[in-house]
Structure 1
Amino acid sequence: MKLFCITLMLVLLVLLAGCASGPSIDKSYTATGQGSRVQYVVLHYTSTNLPRSLELLTTTDVSSHYLIDSNPATIYQLVDENRRAWHAGVSSWKGRTWLNSTTIGIEMVNKGYTDTPSGRVWQPYTEAQIQALISLLKDIVKRHDLPLGSIIGHSDVAPQRKVDPGPYFPWKRLADEGLVPWPDANEVARKQAQLAANLPNIAWFQHQLARQGYEIIENGQLDKQTRKVLAAFQMKYRPSNYSGEADAQTAAMLLVLNSKL
């Protein structure tokens, strides 16, 4: 009886081991028709300090693939790149919606802004933090074979409700590193001079912003949603003035950028 029980236990253990290991899969063939699930990298700031950022991104429904501290500039990986992180929310870019499924989210420890009696005060990013971000972005772009234009901000994909990474984020610095497209200053100056005397109408601005990738209703009206999208574009390419007004310089930047699409 004892021998029978021992034998039965061994059989059960073998069966359980087989179940635990899953099906036998032959991986000797690889399809050529495949690519990374990642289409974009979305940049954010956390609006708070490191301890609170880690708490929010690891214990709530909000998450990101990476978190970059400011001092020291430590890169934390919180979600595997092959898994979905909950960072973009209701979002849209170039017709794609709900971007969590196709993006890598990077949060940077930065308080964003504080509203004071004298106006809104933004927190700058540290040099070490930006250097760490650039290094991470270059690695991600290379591994996922991402084309130029794949690195965008939360304010790009959700301009009606988000402003991060904010006007102090150095997009031009990323452009100088070959990571984002940037309009040539001389071309912009020439176009601006031409457009100053004959500014395009709002429908034109809306169409050009939609070509960039922004979700915008092309109704020909300078309404609240259009102002927010204009401000998001200006905050990225002209952070000294993100008024949301349709002006000649903004039109020139749109023309130069869209001519490269």
Structure 2
Amino acid sequence: MKRGVWLVALTLLLAGCAGEKGIVDKAGYQLDTRRQAQAAYPRIKVLVIHYTADDFDSSLATLTDKNVSSHYLIPAVPPLYGGKPRIWQLVPEHDLAWHAGISYWRGATRINDTSIGIELENRGWQQSAGTKYFAPFEPAQIQALIPLAKEIVTRYDIKPQNVVAHADIAPQRKDDPGPLFPWRELAAQGIGAWPDAARVTFYLAGRAPHAPVDPAILLDLLARYGYEVKPTMTQREQQRVVMAFQMHFRPALWNGVADAETQAIAEALLEKYGQD
């Protein structure tokens, strides 16, 4: 009799534990998740925006081949199903995709390991008379991107300064998504960083926007914000870093020249979002 009472009590105790918050029943075992380690960090910290530089069919073939991949691909004009634009998911978010390549952001390398990549069908740039001309993005494509990016940023608590262009994390190799990508519009939707205009004016301090500044001072600011800046860089490599920053935050002029407005924008961003 006593043994039967004891077994009933034990069963009730275990059932109570299984229903307890933080106790998870599995097939053949239980997980106690009530004590979580402090030395743990989320894997996904960065959202990287790309363009494909190709049409949709070619982009889809490339991104599902063996050499390169991305988590999402958005057509230039997404087809509507039930009134909703369709986006292609090519890699589950919990898996690593090969979209960033050799890269660096805010002290970290191997950005593929810590990021989600979104590819936008877009022709990229063409060159004429030594000048690059970038293809615009379709409004329907940006409207499809915004809710997807919002969900990703919220799901992984991605900081505004970690929503980046491919050019930001690989300025020596990449230009995408280029100066016509609407970063300011996305930032207004809570996706990514953007400087406060009043603080840019403050840091400009009455100087003409395109007045030259010391490139070394500007590059130090960009390094503190997150860009890879090496002491051994050539002048052309330095210009590529400045150009990547300008395409993102001062798209009206992205000539790679260190000027007062670019410096003021960098200072305003550092004040708002902190440094690497």
Aligning the two structures, in what range does the TM-score lie when normalised by the shorter sequence? Answer: 0.7 to 0.9
1:39 aligns with 2:45: yes
Contact 1:87-1:105 within 8 A present in 2 as well: yes
Contact 1:183-1:257 within 8 A present in 2 as well: yes
Contact 1:148-1:180 within 8 A present in 2 as well: yes
1:228 aligns with 2:240: yes
Report the residue type matching 1:47 in the other structure. Answer: A
Q: Quick one: distance in 1 between partners of 2:135 and 2:238?
A: 26
**1:171 aligns with one of 179, 183, 188:** 183
1:52 aligns with 2:58: yes
**2:270 aligns with one of 248, 258, 261:** 258
Q: Quick one: distance in 2 between partners of 1:26 and 1:243?
A: 61
The Cα shift of 1:117 comes to 4.2
Q: Secondary structure at the match of 2:217?
A: helix
List per-residue Cα deviations over 1:74-129 (Å, max 9, x = no partner).
Answer: 31100011111000000000110011111001100001011234843211111111
Q: Secondary structure at the match of 2:32?
A: coil
Report the residue type matching 2:217 in the other structure. Answer: W
**1:29 aligns with one of 1, 23, 32:** 32
Structure 1 residues 160-169 or 120-129, which shifts more? 120-129
Q: What's the TM-score, normalizing by structure 1?
A: 0.84
Q: Which residue of 2 aligns with 1:68?
A: 74
Contact 1:207-1:218 within 8 A present in 2 as well: no
The Cα shift of 1:61 comes to 1.1
What is the root-mean-square deviation in Å for CA atoms of aligned residues?
2.1
- Identical aligned pairs, as a percentage? 42
Q: How does 1:92-103 map to 2 (within 5 A)?
A: 92-103=104-115
Q: Quick one: distance in 2 between partners of 1:127 and 1:188?
A: 28
Q: Secondary structure at the match of 2:118?
A: strand
Q: How does 1:1-261 map to 2 (within 5 A)?
A: 26-30=29-33, 32-33=36-37, 34-72=40-78, 73-117=85-129, 119-196=131-208, 200-218=213-231, 223-260=235-272, 261=274
Structure 1 81/195 Cα, relative in aligned 2: closer, same or farther at 3 Å?
Answer: same
Contact 2:126-2:132 within 8 A present in 1 as well: yes
Structure 1 residues 58-67 or 183-192, which shifts more? 183-192
Matched pairs, number: 237
Gaps of 5+ in 2: 1-26, 79-84
Q: Which residue of 2 aligns with 1:12?
A: none
Report the residue type matching 2:165 in the other structure. Answer: G
Q: What's the TM-score, normalizing by structure 2?
A: 0.80
Q: Secondary structure at the match of 1:44?
A: strand
Q: Quick one: distance in 1 between partners of 2:76 and 2:91?
A: 20
Report the residue type matching 2:72 in the other structure. Answer: Y
Q: Quick one: distance in 2 between partners of 1:118 and 1:257?
A: 32
Q: Quick one: distance in 2 between partners of 1:85 and 1:190?
A: 41
Q: Quick one: distance in 2 between partners of 1:112 and 1:48?
A: 8
Q: Quick one: distance in 2 between partners of 1:119 and 1:150?
A: 30
Q: Quick one: distance in 2 between partners of 1:232 and 1:48?
A: 21
Gaps of 5+ in 1: 1-23
Q: Which residue of 1 aligns with 2:12?
A: none
List per-residue Cα deviations over 1:130-188 (Å, max 9, x = no partner).
Answer: 11111001111111122222210100000011000001100000111121221111221
